[in-house]
Structure 1
Amino acid sequence: MTGRVAPEIMRRHLRMYLVLGSVNCSVEPSLVLQEALAGGATMVQFREKGQGALAGDAMIRLARRIQDQCRRAGVPFIVNDDVELALKLNADGVHVGQGDESAASVRERIGNRILGVSAHTVEEARRAILHGADYLGIGPIYPTRSKDDAKTAQGPAILHELREAGIHLPIVGIGGITVERVEEVIGAGADGVAVISAVTGAESARKVVEAFIGKIRCTTGRIS
């Protein structure tokens, strides 16, 4: 990348943001991703965490497979938390939580790559922006079982609160979001939805992603 991603482009990337790793997929992750990309996924985060997660060379091989698929599809490939892995792979960006390496430190290390930061309060959001975040991951919006360390669900109200506080950075909502909840999440102020189990656990990832995309288009009134 030669420069930071413009907010409007970032908002498009966030529209249908898939988060996945081997722990969340009942079949080979690359097969799930193939379907999700065919369905219209707009950004992908590699998150290899939890009981039974791959490590070492096996984890790197999986990350490379997923990255290659994203490159062929022209979709940004983001690495969760692991800056060293992101740099090793020349990933498009990194996403960090409040308990990970500080956003300021990550920004310094990754240069102009995409930086996403999880936030749960207005104060955390403002700090993330100050430290160079390109987008905010807000959640869990609804209860979720996809993350062992997930905080208490805050509901869409947190999205309203952030927008009313003057937070204009692109925002993606995450946590327990289903197709039926898209309108509520987007309506509350999110630019897109980040999804794990609703896609990775589906019989047809493609059909579920297409359903999400359809609902998002209806809610935002945008074609692309």
Structure 2
Amino acid sequence: MPLPFDLSLYLVTDPRLVAARGLLATVEAAVKGGVGVVQLRDPQAHGRVLVEQARALKALLVPLGIALIINDRVDVAVAADADGVHLGQDDMAPADARALLGPGRILGLSVGSPAEFAASDLSGVDYLGVGPVKATGTKADAGSAIGAEGVAAIRGLTRLPLVGIGGIDAALAGEVIRAGADGVAVVSAICGAPDPQAAARALKAAIAAARGAAPL
């Protein structure tokens, strides 16, 4: 079984949005603000570059107990000894990815509708990324927005942990949590923020408030 991981606030990196500040500086600030999982996503990077980025992030995150997930690339995750992989619907089948990853790494899968959920291979999947909740410009092939209602619909179909993704900011985070998500995944709300640490704190506060807890 994979080690425990906290989906409450899940950061997906964007190479364009972090370019000015730097990947490591952005992630370090976000983690200080409360991010519990980091996904390295760079569709244009070659394998060697991704492995180098993943190893640098791993060195930063391991002492903090923060999980590092690699988008799409099982080979990069294994080479860099990352904590897991997140797959899209057109990527490697989850059962095949699990066979390569072994039992100790985290495996996530994107799902965009109840119909897509029903058609998905959930073999060895540890959590689902559900969305896009709202239209987003950070992923061209993200599909149609499903809103919080779409998150709630998929929540009713599974006990797997869910993280809502797509156009989520502090104003929308609470609605997604109340719809049944275990957490929210964000890109521009942190990567594009002037202060990633403050942005992460605002998101964590919204999540905590939606759960009926005192803001962190």
TM-score by length of 1: 0.89
1:69 aligned to 2:60? yes
Aligned partner (choices 144, 149, 170) of residue 157 of structure 1: 149
1:132 aligned to 2:124? yes
1:122 aligned to 2:89? no
- Bigger CA drift: 197-206 or 154-163? 154-163
Equivalent positions of 1:3-152 (< 5 A) are 3-5=1-3, 9-10=4-5, 13-25=6-18, 26-49=20-43, 53-112=44-103, 113-126=105-118, 128=120, 130-152=122-144
Would you say how many aligned residue pairs link Structure 1 and Structure 2? 213
1:46, CA displacement in angstroms? 0.5
Q: Is the 8 A contact 2:170 2:206 kept in 1?
A: yes
Distance (whole Å) between structure 2 residues aligned to residue 68 and residue 95 of structure 1:
20
1:131, CA displacement in angstroms? 1.1
Q: Name the SS of the counterpart of 2:171 in structure 1.
A: helix
Structure 1: gaps spanning 5 or more residues: none
Q: Is the 8 A contact 2:93 2:121 kept in 1?
A: no
TM-score by length of 2: 0.92
Structure 1 residues 163 and 61: alpha-carbon distance in aligned structure 2, compared to 1, 3 A threshold? closer
- Bigger CA drift: 125-134 or 170-179? 125-134
Q: Name the SS of the counterpart of 2:147 in structure 1.
A: coil
Distance (whole Å) between structure 2 residues aligned to residue 156 and residue 28 of structure 1:
32
Structure 2: gaps spanning 5 or more residues: none
- Aligned amino acid, residue 89 of structure 1: A
Aligned to 2:172: 181
- Aligned amino acid, residue 177 of structure 1: I
Q: Is the 8 A contact 2:175 2:210 kept in 1?
A: no
Q: State percent identity of aligned pairs.
A: 36
1:71, CA displacement in angstroms? 0.9
Q: Is the 8 A contact 1:141 1:176 kept in 2?
A: yes
Q: Is the 8 A contact 1:23 1:48 kept in 2?
A: no
- Aligned amino acid, residue 97 of structure 1: G
- Report the RMSD for the aligned CA atoms in angstroms: 1.8
Q: Name the SS of the counterpart of 1:45 in structure 2.
A: strand
Q: Name the SS of the counterpart of 1:181 in structure 2.
A: helix
Distance (whole Å) between structure 1 residues aligned to residue 9 and residue 118 of structure 2:
24
| 1:130-173 Cα distance to aligned partner (Å, 9 max, x none) | 412100000100010011222111111111112233x1110000
Q: Is the 8 A contact 2:169 2:189 kept in 1?
A: yes
1:24, CA displacement in angstroms? 3.1
Q: Is the 8 A contact 1:115 1:134 kept in 2?
A: yes
